[in-house]
Amino acid sequence: MEISLQALAGVCYTVTEAGKTAKIKKKEVREMVRKADVKVLEGLRGGKGQVELHHIVSQEELNGHGSMYAMGILKPGCSIGYHQHVGNTEPYFILKGKGVFVDNDRSRTEVGPGDVCYIEVGQSHALENNSDEDLVFMALVYNA
């Protein structure tokens, strides 16, 4: 039998009964509603300028299924450099703005709101903002 109790200090106590033995484990409870963890990275994957990443969940919260789930913002003239995904993949979903997706074969495709940019595991890609407005997108790095 396992019983979970919420404590006032944001700590959850799990009581487990195994035969006549009872164990108490203390574990941290994550906030259900919170702000994204925002990081500004310079020259991501060899790209130009800055990328603002709004991490929706942490790598730990992806429970071994991936390493990143974030909303990204590329300012005009900025890019994420051409990079390879070994053992994982990373689709982009464009929310706002226009840009150029560079595919595994280095072909260049203009992208905009509603476009999904997908690569196979082991392939490479890049994303560039050559417009005069922000390029806003979702990115999910998940394991193969």
Quick: pLDDT tens for 129-144: 999 999 999 999 999 9
Q: What is the reported pLDDT for 21?
A: 46
| Burial (0-12, 13-18, 19+ Cβ within 10 Å), 81 | middle
Quick: pLDDT tens for 67-78: 999 999 999 999
Quick: pLDDT tens for 4-47: 444 434 444 445 555 544 444 445 567 789 999 999 999 999 99
What single-letter DSSP state applies at residue 78? Answer: -
Q: CA 22, CA 40: separation in Å to the nearest integer?
A: 46
The CATH architecture of the domain made up of 37-143 is: Sandwich (2.60)
Domain with CATH 2.60.120.10 in the chain: 37-143
Q: What is the pTM of this model?
A: 0.79
> Average pLDDT, stretch 93-108?
98
